[in-house]
Amino acid sequence: MKHAPLIQIDLSSHVPAYEQIAAEIRALLVSGELAPADALPTVRQLAADLNVHHNTVAQAYRILAEEGWLDLRRGRGARVVPRSRPAPPGDKGRRTFTLQLKRLLAKAAAEGISPRLIARQLALQAHDVRNWTKGDS
Amino acid sequence: MKHAPLIQIDLSSHVPAYEQIAAEIRALLVSGELAPADALPTVRQLAADLNVHHNTVAQAYRILAEEGWLDLRRGRGARVVPRSRPAPPGDKGRRTFTLQLKRLLAKAAAEGISPRLIARQLALQAHDVRNWTKGDS
DNA sequence: GCCTATGTACATTGTACATAGACACTAGAC
DNA sequence: GTCTAGTGTCTATGTACAATGTACATAGGC
């Protein structure tokens, strides 16, 4: 099967490329669009697509491997592996999430996105979240 | 009036301190908890509270000043100033927002926060967003 | 066995965060 | 007016880290 760009990153952003790559792939993993046994592009392949160095992609893969999503083997490539749901985080983890969410919304508003649009987007995403792991294609 | 800590940042986080400070204050500005004519703590005051250098706070203030929220004057301090709603961003801006939101939610899920809790938090924030600029204390 | 393709390790380079410390300006006391 | 304390601002510096270049180690096809 031929992949569409698979993921997309913004090289002009201040957030590190390897982190963006990991975040994008993580989103696909969480939503189920990438399922166990699926093969990921090789580090050099994806690096060429994104115009970064293959070591940058390798660093992203390593992060996901440490989180338990991937199995990396030299010479063979990267595959998605089954992963048990991690222990729910404590108050601190949940509060950090809320904090980052608030900051993101405030920034969006400051850039001119209307509260109405923001609220609508939140509702949309909430809907998607409820369908995670149910509807993997 | 005596301020509670006003804002709080995480020095162990990978996101720069000056950015966290700006984001926190921006949230207060957007929500209306900081209104025009209000005075902010001095850079040295806030720096002492947060255990950072006063130049770090100054950098955060400068960001907010460039966004049009603050008026900075040497010797006088920092005050909130009226700000006209900026022009709504184009497709790119809106898509960047959606992208960042998706990444944040995926990360939260990967850390073990249940989809149910995430969806609930989104609904809560959507509610808050709708009350911006209505209920400034 | 050899060759090609894969992920990995290490040294190097550039950039940005955070700090230190001196400077410029303002307001108020006297 | 002058002095003084307090404000934001500027320049230089140390350190950490992102991204790279290059060489290496491993797997699989022929």
Long-range contacts from A30-35, C-beta under 8 angstroms, 24+ separation: A30/A132, A30/B105, A30/B106, A30/B109, A30/B110, A31/A128, A31/A132, A31/A136, A31/B106, A32/A132, A32/A133, A32/A134, A32/A135, A32/A136, A32/A137, A33/A136, A33/A137, A34/A80, A35/A80, A35/A136
Whether CB of B16 is under 7 Å from strand C: the answer is yes
Q: In the complex, which nucleotide's C1' lies nearest to the CA atom of residue A54? A: D20
Q: In the complex, which nucleotide's C1' lies nearest to the CA atom of residue A77? A: C6
In percent, how much of chain A has pLDDT > 90? 92
Residue range B30-44, pLDDT digits in tens:
999 999 999 999 999
Say what the pLDDT of residue B133 is.
Answer: 75
Interchain proximity B86–A125, CB inside 8 Å: no
Whether CB of B44 is under 7 Å from strand D: the answer is yes
Whether CB of A11 is under 7 Å from strand C: the answer is no
Q: Does residue B137 carry a pLDDT above 70?
A: no
SS3 per residue for B45-99: HHHHHHCCCHHHHHHHHHHHHHCCCEEEECCCEEEECCCCCCCCCCHHHHHHHHH
Residue range B51-63, pLDDT digits in tens:
999 999 999 999 9
- Tokens, residue B7: 């804002």
Distance CA A60, CA A24 (A): 10
Residue range B78-116, pLDDT digits in tens:
999 999 999 999 999 999 999 999 999 999 999 999 999
Calculate the average pLDDT of chain B. Answer: 94
Calculate the average pLDDT of chain A. Answer: 94
Interchain proximity B26–A102, CB inside 8 Å: no
Distance CA B8, CA A61 (A): 32
In Å, how far is A24's CA from the nearest CA of chain B?
Answer: 7
Whether this prediction's pTM lies above 0.85 is answered by yes
Say what the pLDDT of residue A135 is.
Answer: 59
Say what the pLDDT of residue A84 is.
Answer: 92
In Å, how far is B77's CA from the nearest CA of chain A?
Answer: 23
> Mean per-residue pLDDT for A80-85?
95
Out of A41-50, A74-83, B80-89, B127-136, pick the least confident: B127-136
Say what the pLDDT of residue B1 is.
Answer: 47
Q: Does residue A31 carry a pLDDT above 60?
A: yes
Residue range B3-12, pLDDT digits in tens:
567 899 999 9
> Mean per-residue pLDDT for A22-51?
97
Say what the pLDDT of residue A121 is.
Answer: 98
